[in-house]
Structure 1
Amino acid sequence: MLAAYAVTADADDPLEALRVDQIEPPAVPDGWIEVSVRAAALNHHDVFSLRGVGLPADRLPMILGCDAAGVTSDGREVVVYPVVGDPLFGGDDETYDPRRSLLSERYPGTLAEAVRAPARNVVAKPAELSFAEAACLPTAWLTAYRALFTSADLRPGDTVLVQGAGGGFATAAVSLARAAGLRVWVTSRTPERAERAVALGAHAGFASGERLPDRVDAVLDSVGAATWSHSINSLRPGGRLVTVGTTSGPDLPNAELTKIFFRPLRVIGSTMGTRAEFERLLRFLVATGVRPVIDRTLPLADAADGFAAMIDGDLFGKIVLEP
């Protein structure tokens, strides 16, 4: 079958680690289901994998991709929930499972003509969503949903700052927050991206690092080192910084510890979401009419072009691949 997969790791030039070619289909383990992929979406996680982050050499070659929507052998239209947990984990929150992984970390991923997933990870796709729209949801949109409503515990009328504008997570956070009745601000490195975020639903856009008119109830930060100090300084006393990623790197020039304990602030790590939250996200989109922003749709054979756009930051929303 055709697939996009990592054959090595290249921290400096991740495209050199990528192959798009025919590969032997993996076996379907007991209790798993094969899904014929109709659409899959790219994430920064895939770029990190090509750089060798979280994907050791002994697991290569590895089919990339966490997100997909497709059809099962019995004709059901489904979305794949990508968090694969330890069967022995007894908790209700999969994100607390220390042995959890995502598809494409220990098990072949979704950037292929077919993907295999545990039966509990195959969730019915709402008829109101296209395959391309549904494929955008499992990673970036689920991460944004949990960050807003579980980790930050925001309520209608609260103010949230989304650091960065244009990526899959940021566009998801803006769309979900506005639909939930929050006041939404964004930062961006370019006025054009800020304007597009406002057109999408943000109430105001600001330059990266710009002082805000007021301090906010919560900040969602997927950028990391480059925005950390601004995130801390933007919070009201008792505010929450929800950190979900480090696309600019994890090493902080200043952790702002004095401000964190003196004001006092809460710093909350948030990653992905539970299967129950994923089902609530699907219902939220059906009820509100909110839909993912799709930057472009490409054939799976042209996956390298999609990866190049993501690496260069040349996108607004999600990049979708169709086998």
Structure 2
Amino acid sequence: MLAAYAARFAPEDPISALEVGERPEPVAPEGWVTVDVKATALNHHDLWSLKGVGLSEDKLPMILGCDAAGFDADGNEVVVHAVISDPAWKGDETLDPRRSLLSERFQGTLAEKVVVPAQNVIAKPAGLSFEEAACLPTAWLTAYRMLFTQSGLKPGDTVLVQGAGGGVATALITLARAAGYRVWATSRDEAKRAKAIEIGAHDAFESGARLPDRVDAVMETVGQATWSHSLKSLRPGGTVVISGATSGQAPKSAELNRIFFLQMRIQGSTMGTRQELAGLLSFLANTGIKPHIDSVMPLKDARDGFARMNEGDVFGKVIFTV
């Protein structure tokens, strides 16, 4: 079957480690099911894998990808949940110390077929296309958990989304607006600031700009480059929810004095549970909002999509069709 996979690691030139070609079809072990993939989405996780982050060399070659929508063996339209927890684990899958994501220990979704535990498939709402549904299991699920599980926000509160443009950031903006929050966003790029307003932000500011008011919560996925601005933008007692650090994890200062003196909360967040994914699907169905797609291309052209993400020239999700 056709697949996009990591053949080696290349920290300085990750695209050179990507191969698009034939791989053996997966065989579903007991308790797992095969999904025929119709659409799959690209994430920063896939670029990190090509750099050798979170993926061990003994697992190569590894089919990349965490997101997929397609058909199960009975012909049902489904969305794949990418968090694979230990079979004995009960409760929040993201807290299982033995959890992994597809494409870390188990082959991923950038392929014609993927196998996952039976409980990791969820019915796709009829109102979403396969391309739209493929956006949800990583970026949109991460945003949903950040906003509705981890932030403590209530309707009417103000939330700042750092780094408008990426898959998680665009999801955060649209979900937050639909939930009744006042939404502000930042970006270095003027065009991305304009697009942020188009998709739901009440206002957008240049990265690092002084805001009109301090906010109740900051959604942080950029890390090192925006950390100080996030803390300075937060009201006393507010919350920074962090789910990534695409610009690096070592800010010049952690600003611990500011955090404890103003009693700020720093809340980590990663992916989401199957229950949260089901909630996200219901939220989209009930509100009518749709994921933001940067571009759609066939899986055979996956190298072009990886290059777009590596260059940072995206707004929304890059989707591959199968």
TM range, smaller chain: over 0.9
Amino acid at match of 1:202: A
2:206 aligned residue: 207
1:108 aligned residue: 107
**2:4 is the counterpart of 1:4:** yes
2:298 aligned residue: 299
Q: How does 1:229-268 map onto structure 2 within 5 Å?
A: 229-268=228-267
Classify the secondary structure of the residue corresponding to 1:110.
Answer: coil
How many Å separate the matches in 2 of 1:113 and 1:297?
16
Tell me how far 1:30 sits from its aligned partner: 1.0
How many Å separate the matches in 2 of 1:155 and 1:69?
31
Q: How does 1:60-209 map onto structure 2 within 5 Å?
A: 60-90=60-90, 92-209=91-208
Tell me how far 1:300 sits from its aligned partner: 0.1
How many Å separate the matches in 1 of 2:48 and 2:88?
28
Tell me the matched-pair count: 322
How many Å separate the matches in 2 of 1:60 and 1:26?
15
Question: What are the superposed Cα offsets for residues 133-180 of structure 1, whole Å, 9 maximum, x if unpaired?
Answer: 000000000000000011002111000000011110011000000000
How many Å separate the matches in 2 of 1:82 and 1:60?
19
1:287 aligned residue: 286
How many Å separate the matches in 1 of 2:215 and 2:176?
14
Amino acid at match of 2:318: I
Tell me how far 1:26 sits from its aligned partner: 2.4
Amino acid at match of 2:281: L
1:48 aligned residue: 48
Classify the secondary structure of the residue corresponding to 2:172.
Answer: helix
How many Å separate the matches in 2 of 1:317 and 1:155?
25
Classify the secondary structure of the residue corresponding to 2:235.
Answer: strand
1:274 aligned residue: 273
Question: What are the superposed Cα offsets for residues 253-272 of structure 1, whole Å, 9 maximum, x if unpaired?
Answer: 11010000000100000001
Question: What are the superposed Cα offsets for residues 260-304 of structure 1, whole Å, 9 maximum, x if unpaired?
Answer: 000010000000111101100000000001100101100000000
How many Å separate the matches in 2 of 1:153 and 1:130?
31
1:26 aligned residue: 26
How many Å separate the matches in 1 of 2:112 and 2:256?
48
Question: What are the superposed Cα offsets for residues 44-102 of structure 1, whole Å, 9 maximum, x if unpaired?
Answer: 00000000000010000000000000001211100000000011223x11111111000
Classify the secondary structure of the residue corresponding to 1:127.
Answer: coil
How many Å separate the matches in 2 of 1:206 and 1:313?
19
Structure 2 unaligned residues grouped into runs of 5+: none
How many Å separate the matches in 1 of 2:231 and 2:166?
21
Tell me how far 1:191 sits from its aligned partner: 1.2
Tell me how far 1:220 sits from its aligned partner: 0.4
Structure 1 runs of 4+ aligned residues shifted over 4 Å read none
Q: TM-score, normalised by structure 1?
A: 0.99
How many Å separate the matches in 2 of 1:87 and 1:242?
29
Question: What are the superposed Cα offsets for residues 109-156 of structure 1, whole Å, 9 maximum, x if unpaired?
Answer: 000001101000010001111100000000000000000011002111
Tell me how far 1:24 sits from its aligned partner: 1.0
Structure 1 unaligned residues grouped into runs of 5+: none
Question: What are the superposed Cα offsets for residues 227-256 of structure 1, whole Å, 9 maximum, x if unpaired?
Answer: 000001100000000010010011121101
Classify the secondary structure of the residue corresponding to 2:30.
Answer: coil
How many Å separate the matches in 1 of 2:120 and 2:89?
15
Would the aligned equivalents of 2:26 and 2:113 in 1 still touch at CA under 8 Å?
no
How many Å separate the matches in 2 of 1:321 and 1:24?
19
Tell me how far 1:202 sits from its aligned partner: 0.1
How many Å separate the matches in 2 of 1:17 and 1:66?
18
Percent identity of paired positions between Structure 1 and Structure 2 = 62
Classify the secondary structure of the residue corresponding to 1:67.
Answer: coil
Classify the secondary structure of the residue corresponding to 2:68.
Answer: strand
Amino acid at match of 2:188: R
Amino acid at match of 1:194: R
How many Å separate the matches in 1 of 2:246 and 2:67?
19
Question: What are the superposed Cα offsets for residues 182-215 of structure 1, whole Å, 9 maximum, x if unpaired?
Answer: 0000000111110110011100000000110100
Q: TM-score, normalised by structure 2?
A: 0.99
